[in-house]
Amino acid sequence: MTEKKTTTAGAALIWFGAGVSIAEILTGTYFAPLGFSRAVCAIILGHLIGCALLFGAGYIGALSRKSAMETTKSSFGSIGGRFFALLNVLQLVGWTGIMIYDGAASVNEIFSFSGWIWCLVIGALIILWVVIGVTNLGKVNVVTMSLLFLLTIVLCIIIFRGRSSFASFKADEVMSFGAAVELAAAMPVSWLPLMSDYTKDAEKPFAATLVSTIVYGLVSTWMYVIGMGSALLTGESGIAPIMVKAGLGIAALLIVILSTVTTTFLDAYSAGISAVSVKAKVNPRLAAIITAILGTTGACLFNMDDITGFLYVIGSVFAPMIAVQLASFFVLKSDSSEKGFDLINLIVWVLGFVFYRFMLDKDFILGITLPCMAATFILTIIAGKIRAAVTKRQ
C-alpha cells in the first residue's frame, strides 16, 4: 500500500494551526513595554531569524525522508540521536502541559468554572486529534482553521480599532530590544526538533517546507502582535479580558479551545514519533496519547504562568543541535548514523550549549540565537574539515 503523503496545502494548514496559539499571544504581551513600533520590529526580526532556522531543519527531514529525531542520528550517532530524542520527548510533555494550562486558564477567565475541568476538556480533544491522525485531518483542519481564521480577524479588528487609546503598559522590568528579539525567535526555535516530523512525508519537499515555514512565521508574528496590542489596549497581560470586554462570548471560547488543541496536538504527535527514536518498539500513537495525559495532569497540578525560562532552555539545547545538523548535512555531507556516538559533534554541541547559556545575560541587539548558531555552525565545519584531513592521512 502506498504511504499517504502530505500535500503542500495540507502542510500549510498544519502550520497555520501551530501558529494560532494562546501561548504565542500570551508571549506577545511581554513586548508591550517596548511600545508598538519597537515591539513590532523586534517581533518581525526575531521571527525572521527563527524561521530561517526552522526551514533548514525541516528541509533536512524533507530531503532525507526521516523524522526530526531520526535526522539527529546522522550528525550525532545512533545513541547520540536517542539522547536528543529523549530530551525532545521531555520538552514536548512540558509544552503539552503549558499549552493546556494556558488554554484552560484563558477559558476560565471567559467562562468561570473549575480550571481543571477545562484542562480535561482540552486534553480529551487533543487525544481525539491524535486518534484521527495527522494525515487524516484534512477536512477537520479546513473547518477548524477557517473558524480560527475568522475569529482571530475579529479579535484583531477589535484590538486595533482601539489603537489610539493604547495604554502605556506598566511592567516591573522593561525588556531590552535584544531580549525581545530573542524571545520572538525562541518560539519558532522551539519547533526545530519537530519540523521534520511533518515535512518528511511531503509530496513536494521544498515547496512544503517553504510554505510551512512562511505560513507559520506569518501567523506566529500575527499572534505576537495581537498579544502585544491587547496588552497595550487593556493594560493587562492576558488575552481573555479583551475578549470578555468585547463581548465575544462563545466566539472567544472557540478561539481559545481550538487554537490550543490544533497547536498542542502537534506536540503530542511529535512526542510519539520521537519516542520511536528512543525505542523502536514503542507505538507512536499510544506514546502521543500518554503525552497528552501527562500534559493534562501537569496542567491540573502545577502553575505554568511564566514560560520564558522554559523557552530559553529549549533554545540552549536545540539551537546548537540544529546548527551542527545544518553544517553536517549541507556543508560536510557527513553521516554518522552507523556510529554509536559522534564524539566530535557532541563536543561541539556542548560548546554551543555553554555559549548560549553564557550569552543569556548579555544584551545583543539581534538576540543570542543567531550568534550561537553561527558560532556552532562554523565550529562544526572546522572540526569536520580537521577530522577529514586526519582521516585522509591515516
pLDDT of residue 212: 95
pLDDT greater than 50 at residue 375: yes
How do residues 276-313 score in pLDDT, each as one tens digit? 888 888 898 999 999 999 999 999 988 888 788 888 89
Q: How confident is the model at residue 352 (pLDDT cuts 50, 70, 90)?
A: very high
Strand partners of residue 6: 202
pLDDT of residue 345: 96
Q: How confident is the model at residue 151 (pLDDT cuts 50, 70, 90)?
A: confident
Sorted by sequence, the CB contacts under 8 Å of residue 18 that are 6+ apart come out as 191, 216, 219, 220, 262, 263, 266
List Cβ<8 Å contacts ≥24 apart for 338-342.
Answer: 338/78, 339/77, 339/78, 340/77, 340/78, 340/79, 340/80, 341/76, 341/77, 341/79, 341/80, 342/75, 342/76, 342/77, 342/80
Q: Which three cell numbers stand for residue 310?
A: 522554559
Query: What percentage of the chain has pLDDT greater than the value 70?
Result: 87
Sorted by sequence, the CB contacts under 8 Å of residue 293 that are 6+ apart come out as 123, 127
Q: State how far the alpha carbon of 180 is from the alpha carbons of 27, 82, 217, 224, 312, in Å.
A: 10, 33, 16, 11, 12
pLDDT greater than 90 at residue 379: yes
Q: Which three cell numbers stand for residue 294?
A: 501527562
Average pLDDT for 139-159? 73
Say how far apart CA 357 and CA 304 lie, in whole Å. 22
Q: Which residue has the cell 559533534?
A: 345
pLDDT of residue 27: 87
Say how far apart CA 213 and CA 260 lie, in whole Å. 20
Q: How confident is the model at residue 2 (pLDDT cuts 50, 70, 90)?
A: very low
More confident residue, 203 or 254: 203
Average pLDDT score, the chain = 85
How do residues 8-28 score in pLDDT, each as one tens digit? 988 888 898 788 877 788 889
| CB count in 10 Å sphere of residue 335 | 14
pLDDT greater than 90 at residue 47: yes
pLDDT greater than 90 at residue 156: no
Q: How confident is the model at residue 173 (pLDDT cuts 50, 70, 90)?
A: low
Q: Which three cell numbers stand for residue 184?
A: 520572538
Q: Which residue has the cell 486558564?
A: 105
Q: Which three cell numbers stand for residue 378?
A: 562554523
Does residue 219 contact residue 19 with C-beta atoms inside 8 Å?
Answer: yes
Does residue 26 contact residue 236 with C-beta atoms inside 8 Å?
Answer: no
pLDDT of residue 162: 63
pLDDT greater than 90 at residue 107: no
pLDDT greater than 90 at residue 363: no
Average pLDDT for 157-170? 64
More confident residue, 76 or 226: 76
Lowest mean pLDDT among 100-104, 110-114, 191-195, 208-212: 110-114
Q: State how far the alpha carbon of 188 is from the alpha carbons of 148, 201, 314, 348, in Å.
A: 20, 21, 11, 23
Say how far apart CA 389 and CA 375 lie, in whole Å. 21
More confident residue, 274 or 150: 274
Strand partners of residue 202: 6
Q: State how far the alpha carbon of 394 is from the alpha carbons of 11, 181, 387, 388, in Å.
A: 47, 46, 11, 10
**b/e map 97-111, b = 16+ CB within 10 Å:** bbbbbbbbbbbbbbe
pLDDT of residue 4: 66
Q: How confident is the model at residue 239 (pLDDT cuts 50, 70, 90)?
A: low
pLDDT of residue 193: 84
Q: How confident is the model at residue 245 (pLDDT cuts 50, 70, 90)?
A: low
Does residue 270 contact residue 85 with C-beta atoms inside 8 Å?
Answer: no
Does residue 311 contact residue 364 with C-beta atoms inside 8 Å?
Answer: no
Torsions phi, psi of 289, nearest 5?
-65, -45
pLDDT greater than 60 at residue 65: yes
Q: Residue 380: name the closest of 339, 327, 317 by CA.
A: 327
Assessment of whether the complete model's pTM goes beyond 0.95: no
pLDDT greater than 70 at residue 53: yes
How do residues 90-106 score in pLDDT, each as one tens digit? 999 998 999 899 888 87
